[in-house]
Amino acid sequence: MAERKSSRKNKSNNGTELLAPAPIEDQAITDTLRVNYMPYAMSVIISRAIPEIDGFKPSQRKLLYTMYDMGLMNGARTKSANVVGATMHLHPHGDSSIYETLVRLTRGNESLLHPFIDSKGSFGKRYSTMAYAASRYTECKLDEICETIFGGIDHDAVDFTDNYDGTMKEPTLLPTAFPNILVSANLGIAVGMATNICSFNLGEVCDAAVELIKNPEADLLDIIKAPDFSTGGVLLYDREQLKNIYDTGRGSFKVRARYSFNKKENCIEITQIPYTTTIEAVISKIAKLMKEGKFKEISDVRDETDIQGMKLTIDLKRGADPEKLISKLFRSTPLEDAFPCNFNILIGGSPKTLGIRDILEEWIAWRSECVKRELYFNLCRMEEKLHLLYGLRELLLDIDKAIKIIRETENEKQVVPNLMKGFSIDEVQAEYIAEIKLRNLNREYILKRTSETEKLEKDIEDVKEKLSSPKKIHSLIAKQLADIKKKYAKPRKTQLIYTDDVPSAPEQETEAYPVTVLLSHEGYFKKLIPYKSNLPHNSDQKLKDNDYIVIREDTDSECELLFFTDKCQVYKAKADDFETLKPSMLGEYVPAKLGFEDGENLITMLLAGDYKGSAAFFFENGKAVLVPLSSYATKLNRKKLTNAFSGDSPAVGIFFVPEKQGKKPSCEFMVRSTQGKAIIVNSDQLAAKTTRTAAGVYIFTLKKGFKIESVSFFSDDGSEEMKKFDKYRKSKLPSTGTLLDDYDINSKQVKFDF
């Protein structure tokens, strides 16, 4: 009897046998990333998010070429749904994403200075979150300017490639005859990189490209004055700031809204806003600040946008100062916003961050290649035509002979060979002659056609001369740019105002209100509004694990805060610069909020108030110094001060010392060393210096290898129990200190952490 096997095959509910799961194999994380993640990342970078030198992303290029292929360059508009459906042959994505791309390229959406699609219907607005109509309701066709982006596309100006399923051909780039990469704004987020290209005025960009062709050392900042946005606005012009952007392709500048004051209606009318925001975002922010009581001058804010364009109206209360209010609005709302530049584009399939000069040089080199290819294509066609005309000229010598050869040839297939033999011409020429209609076999027709020979010969020589001369290619590009500027250039929409001409914001821009500020050990800041009852205890505050509150002060919203860092710098901010939070929220991370440098850490925060009093600095080397807070007060609204204190030795503690009142010292400190010794000093014993970088004088004599470990406020309540701390008080400094008793180390009266 055969031995029965113990193993069984798994069966499903319907009785069918199921295969055992394949064994799981270990795979190195690097292999997983290389095989699975990297292809996806490269696809997003190259085929989706980053524009190429023609100024288009793949989705935009496929959409525009589809419309060109549909014959929408001329004629009537078609439903947008037809365009979206046809684009799917090149762009295999959902109709919603294709339609969103189409919307942004339309004249109606106002996202571009020079739209590529002539639209009819509701396409939304760049400056609003208003939804656009469905594609079945809207119509579109290519705008006239598209003549400049498709010129030469049928003359081999660019390469073509198969679409995703190999059923069609599509261009890899569009032969744009102007630097569209700088004229059309573009934003893209890829994997590990992004791009954000602002738009520039077409006329200025064309002039810059022409000047760069003539003089490679031209100062482009004198030609391309500044970015220009389709939404207009007012750009705060800082030449050095823009020069850095033009050179590196990175940086930021500020744009603010354009407004006017209507005295009759006592309101501010805003007609243009920054490109980076929307009218709904502005209204939402103003409404929020009104609710918090920060804009008591405003009685109402409303959107009055209509067919004539955007308009945001802010009604003022009687007696309100519109200039002061608009300054507050610029400071607190998106009516003034920064545009972060990141000129990251694809050059030969590789992402590169380039300045404007480099971008224009790359564009000129690429455009030169497009022009050469187009000229060579035309040259080949002209040479082919000339070759045929040479054959026709031979026929002119004896037309009757040609007719006789054709009439006497019995077999049709022998007509071409007999003509070749009879007139000493090649097969192509003979085929052309054989196809001429009988009615055209006359002297007048042949003379008319062959008269083109001389002109063709001159044109061919001219094209060959251009192809052999880069200078003439550049001249041709410059001429095209001049024609484009003449036909399509528009005046600047974004006005310029020099930063020196911008009035500084008033010291008190809002009415102060009481707040409670908290700072945690890990650097998280909270601004809380005190309630009728007391605020929650520290244990009720939301904090990260192992984090705790180190500073808790009651002040007002206009109080200036000084944040000292371990790089001897101080960052200044008002309490009002931070969001009002609830105790249940984590808080704002100070290094990120204030833009600390890499590797820079927060030491502590002081409340400057009216800049009376002093800051006490204690250093690891045993020195200490008292610096007046007035040293940190600045007339200009500076947000960062370097050389805020001495960098000779790391700071162990920084404390606020109020002005002295009476004979009693302002405050006392317990200073502890790594040797296990401590002293108690009062603020009167510290050396007062007026210079911020003063190194101070020794208060603690340290043996070699030891340093100050911690400094903390010491509070003496006058009780009998506190008398035992008198041994740490030293009348003469510096002092070697007194050894700490175990009881003193563990005493609840002294906190050594700060």
Q: How many residues does the chain have?
A: 754
Among candidate residues 655, 605, 590, 592, the one with its CA nearest the CA of residue 625:
655
pTM: 0.67
Which of 190-204, 467-481, 552-566 bottoms out in mean pLDDT, i.e. has the lowest? 552-566
Active site residue 137: yes
Q: DSSP state, 693?
A: T
Contacts of 337 (CB under 8 A, 6+ apart): 254, 255, 256, 274, 276, 277
pLDDT for position 754: 34
Q: What are phi and psi of 402, to 5 degrees?
A: -65, -40
pLDDT for position 577: 85
* 570, amino acid identity: V
Give mean pLDDT, residues 488-493: 95
DSSP letters spanning 559-605 = -EEEEEETTS-EEEEEGGGSPB--TTS--EEHHHHHTPPTT--EEEE
Q: Apex CA 303: angle with CA 301 and CA 306, to 5°?
A: 150
pLDDT for position 304: 93
**Contact 154/95 with Cβ under 8 angstroms?**
no
pLDDT for position 726: 80
Distance set, CA 365 to CA 57, 61, 75, 173 (Å):
20, 20, 34, 14
Q: Which residue has the tokens 């050179």?
A: 247
pLDDT for position 477: 96
| 3 state SS of 637 | coil
pLDDT for position 510: 54
Contacts of 572 (CB under 8 A, 6+ apart): 560, 561, 562, 563, 608, 632, 634, 638, 639, 640, 641
Domains and their CATH numbers in the chain: 56-175 (3.90.199.10), 258-334 (3.30.1360.40), 512-596 (no CATH), 610-754 (2.120.10.90)
pLDDT for position 71: 94
Give mean pLDDT, residues 458-470: 93
pLDDT for position 1: 40
Give mean pLDDT, residues 238-256: 94
Confidence of residue 451 (pLDDT cuts 50, 70, 90): confident
Give mean pLDDT, residues 405-411: 86
Question: Rounded to whole angstroms, how far apart are CA atoms 575 and 560?
Answer: 6
pLDDT for position 202: 97
Confidence of residue 504 (pLDDT cuts 50, 70, 90): low
**Contact 733/681 with Cβ under 8 angstroms?**
yes
Confidence of residue 717 (pLDDT cuts 50, 70, 90): low
Give mean pLDDT, residues 207-218: 94
* 60, amino acid identity: Q
Give mean pLDDT, residues 170-185: 96
117 token code pair: 């699609």
Q: Which residue in 37, 40, 137, 498 is the catalytic one?
A: 137
Q: What are phi and psi of 273, to 5 degrees?
A: -130, 165
Confidence of residue 155 (pLDDT cuts 50, 70, 90): very high
pLDDT for position 19: 62
**Contact 700/622 with Cβ under 8 angstroms?**
yes
Does residue 223 have a pLDDT over 50?
A: yes
pLDDT for position 718: 64
**Contact 141/67 with Cβ under 8 angstroms?**
yes
Question: Rounded to whole angstroms, how far apart are CA atoms 655 and 95?
Answer: 62
Confidence of residue 533 (pLDDT cuts 50, 70, 90): very low
**Contact 690/626 with Cβ under 8 angstroms?**
no
Give mean pLDDT, residues 407-432: 88
Give mean pLDDT, residues 250-275: 94
Does residue 134 have a pLDDT over 60?
A: yes
Which of 2-6, 254-258, 279-283, 485-489 bottoms out in mean pLDDT, i.e. has the lowest? 2-6
| 3 state SS of 532 | coil
Q: Which residue has the tokens 């002297």?
A: 443
Confidence of residue 2 (pLDDT cuts 50, 70, 90): very low
Give mean pLDDT, residues 714-729: 74
Give mean pLDDT, residues 719-732: 77
Other C-beta atoms within 10 Å of 474: how many? 19
Give mean pLDDT, residues 726-732: 83
Higher model confidence: residue 547 or residue 494? Answer: 494
Does residue 597 have a pLDDT over 70?
A: yes
Q: DSSP state, 35?
A: I
Question: Rounded to whole angstroms, how far apart are CA atoms 470 and 358?
Answer: 19
pLDDT for position 26: 79
Distance set, CA 194 to CA 267, 385, 483, 682 (Å):
40, 49, 34, 55
Give mean pLDDT, residues 7-15: 52
Confidence of residue 751 (pLDDT cuts 50, 70, 90): very low
Label the pairing between strands 234-237 and 495-498: parallel
Question: Rounded to whole angstroms, how far apart are CA atoms 223 and 219?
Answer: 7
pLDDT for position 610: 82
Higher model confidence: residue 336 or residue 693? Answer: 336
pLDDT for position 452: 84
**Contact 680/668 with Cβ under 8 angstroms?**
yes
pLDDT for position 18: 57
Within 13 Å, how many C-alpha atoms sit on residue 15's CB side?
0
Does residue 191 have a pLDDT over 50?
A: yes
Give mean pLDDT, residues 364-378: 96
Give mean pLDDT, residues 276-301: 92
| 3 state SS of 233 | coil
Task: Report pLDDT digits (tens) over 354-370.
Answer: 999 999 999 999 999 99
Does residue 695 have a pLDDT over 60?
A: yes
Question: Rounded to whole angstroms, how far apart are CA atoms 568 and 343?
Answer: 34
Confidence of residue 410 (pLDDT cuts 50, 70, 90): confident
* 247, amino acid identity: D
Does residue 183 have a pLDDT over 90?
A: yes
711 token code pair: 């400094």
603 token code pair: 């030491």
Among candidate residues 348, 376, 383, 477, the one with its CA nearest the CA of residue 156:
376
**Contact 405/418 with Cβ under 8 angstroms?**
yes
Confidence of residue 749 (pLDDT cuts 50, 70, 90): very low
Does residue 382 have a pLDDT over 60?
A: yes
Confidence of residue 180 (pLDDT cuts 50, 70, 90): very high
**Contact 385/432 with Cβ under 8 angstroms?**
no
Task: Report the percent of the chain where pLDDT is more than 90.
Answer: 49
Label the pairing between strands 258-262 and 267-272: antiparallel
Does residue 4 have a pLDDT over 90?
A: no
pLDDT for position 752: 34
**Contact 589/602 with Cβ under 8 angstroms?**
no
Does residue 674 have a pLDDT over 50?
A: yes
Question: Rounded to whole angstroms, how far apart are CA atoms 146 and 74?
Answer: 11
Does residue 719 have a pLDDT over 90?
A: no
